[in-house]
Structure 1
């Protein structure tokens, strides 16, 4: 087993200097060139941090708790958890994930993570919403993922909902659509709905057009949603549709087919999610905005570690991602600008 003493002997620095570098406490204390040399030699020798010894020295377990509701049961869980796990691993932490779906008691799950000695917590939701922070987490290092607390005081990360809608609607305008409808979400408390409606309206007005409330329908799902979109077709005859998500885009495809219209030829549609099921099922393939689940998970874990260790992290080591991640000192909430993925559902 390689020791810090061996690294010190090889590099010609003190053991304390090696300790600062290997425990990520070298910033402002060790010259960057020396720190880089120490890390290179440590990698060459195959040095691995001993988590138990590190815990005794720092009074930290290097465990992060990931608490999710309506995340682990969705197709997006993998990306969000993988992002958080990637950042945790990069900075020497382990991620323990618990889900409060299916009747699991949230307080009990949080208490269990606290018994394991978790140094901090990620609290994740789906579909970006305002959420109350559990009282058991009030005095813990905490970052919200795809959620915001009512007072906007807890560090959080979310998609830039306004830009999602603005970019999608702008794409439809650039395609020559004259009457662009918004098929939104009628569920309450959704930051995503508020931001996307605002972005849609702004894009319309910035193009010199008047916002038309009759071109907006907010729906949930199933029969009533299909009926509302069908009425929109018959009463307003849009030639472009921006949909809150890919699932709602399906209603547009269905209504178009019933009227003998072809998406991508007779009308244009843009969704949000890049949902694998819809991406592989809808024909023509749906142009959509991909949500940054990996990026949110990675950023949140990196932010949490920076809070735990009270230091900045070297962003130059961050992975290359589809959407650029904001700096860790971004405001609350930190917003990620999402990428629009061109497929076949917009008229060329």
Structure 2
């Protein structure tokens, strides 16, 4: 079993310094480069902290509670949990995840996690929305994931919905598209508002101009397909920005029925980089990838920084598709999502 004394000998620092670092109490006491060296050596040697002993010394369990609605049961949003777990592991924490879907009582789940002594909570939603924070969480360190507190009382992380649409529409403009349509969502959502605004702004800035006639806000199934089909015949767009990859399917279907080739006659950009559509549509769909992993990773870092009252400047960040915003970003912190080039936009 590796001891703190062995780590101290390998790094040339005192045992007390190693103790501060391994117990997460080095902020303001140990230089960041020294703390990083201690953590790296500890990892190489395979040092394992005794969580029970540490919780008795520090009054912290180093456990985090992840409260989610639908996230845990949705395959492509599960990256949020993966990102949160990866960051927790790097920082020496364990994460307990519970889902409040269906009949699960949210307050009971929160109370159970509090009995375990978790140091802080995530509160995550399936899609970006303004949400009510449960009263039982208001006295705990808390970070909202893919959600925002309407009063801005708690730190939160979400995709930059405006930039998603702005970048996608700009890509279509750069491809030479002159009549760019938006297949949006008819539900009242933060994502819909942000994406419609980004689409509008990109068109106005390019000089192409915005027209409501090129917008079809739909839900799904037959009515959505009919609305996109009518848009095809009425306006004859040569480019489509779609609220998500699922709605891009309607564009592919309508193009096929008219003998038009995606990526040649019609250019299409979606949102999600949803695995099912990414592997099914032909040609493969150029899309903006939602930053599920990045949101989870950032949320853990922010939560731990609150719990430990330190900046985490010494944390080595993973390679991610989208860059992580700084931990002191304004609320809500926004992630600039990456556009994934495939083959549905003409070259």
Task: Tell me if TM exceeds 0.5.
Answer: yes
Q: How far apart, in 2, do the equivalents of 1:248 and 1:155 lie?
A: 32
1:272 maps to what in 2? 271
2:243 maps to what in 1? 244
1:169 maps to what in 2? 169
2:197 maps to what in 1? 198
Please state if 1:319 is matched with 2:318.
yes
2:209 maps to what in 1? 210
1:129 maps to what in 2? 129
Q: How far apart, in 2, do the equivalents of 1:246 and 1:37 lie?
A: 44
Number of matched pairs: 347
2:140 maps to what in 1? 140
8 A Cα contact 2:240 2:269, kept in partner:
yes
Question: Match of 1:269, SS?
Answer: strand
Q: How far apart, in 1, do the equivalents of 2:246 and 2:12 lie?
A: 61
> Structure 1 residues 231, 2: closer, same or farther in 2, change over 3 A?
same
Task: Please state how far the C-alpha of 1:347 moved relative to its aligned partner.
Answer: 1.7
Normalising by structure 2, we get a TM-score of: 0.95
> In the TM superposition, what are the counterparts of 1:1-348 in structure 2 within 5 Å?
1-8=1-8, 13-32=13-32, 34-188=34-188, 190-314=189-313, 317-348=316-347
Task: Please state how far the C-alpha of 1:253 moved relative to its aligned partner.
Answer: 0.9
CA distances 1:193-234 after superposition (whole Å, capped 9, x unpaired): 111011000000000122101111111111111111111112
Task: Please state how far the C-alpha of 1:316 moved relative to its aligned partner.
Answer: 5.0
Q: Unaligned stretches of 5+ in structure 2?
A: none
CA distances 1:118-166 after superposition (whole Å, capped 9, x unpaired): 1111111122111111121111111111111112221111111111100
RMSD of Structure 2 on Structure 1 (CA): 1.7
Question: Match of 1:143, SS?
Answer: strand
CA distances 1:294-339 after superposition (whole Å, capped 9, x unpaired): 1110000110111111111126501111111011111111111111
Q: Unaligned stretches of 5+ in structure 1?
A: none
Task: Please state how far the C-alpha of 1:41 moved relative to its aligned partner.
Answer: 4.5
Question: Match of 1:228, SS?
Answer: helix
Q: How far apart, in 1, do the equivalents of 2:41 and 2:344 lie?
A: 53
Is 262-271 or 42-51 further displaced after alignment?
42-51
Q: How far apart, in 2, do the equivalents of 1:61 and 1:223 lie?
A: 52
8 A Cα contact 2:67 2:97, kept in partner:
yes
Is 338-347 or 40-49 further displaced after alignment?
40-49
Task: Please state how far the C-alpha of 1:44 moved relative to its aligned partner.
Answer: 4.9
Question: Match of 1:203, SS?
Answer: helix
> Structure 1 residues 7, 193: closer, same or farther in 2, change over 3 A?
same
Question: Match of 2:74, SS?
Answer: coil
> Structure 1 residues 342, 7: closer, same or farther in 2, change over 3 A?
closer
Task: Please state how far the C-alpha of 1:24 moved relative to its aligned partner.
Answer: 2.6
Q: How far apart, in 2, do the equivalents of 1:225 and 1:315 lie?
A: 49
Question: Match of 2:114, SS?
Answer: helix
Is 91-100 or 29-38 further displaced after alignment?
29-38
Task: Please state how far the C-alpha of 1:288 moved relative to its aligned partner.
Answer: 0.4
Task: Please state how far the C-alpha of 1:25 moved relative to its aligned partner.
Answer: 2.1
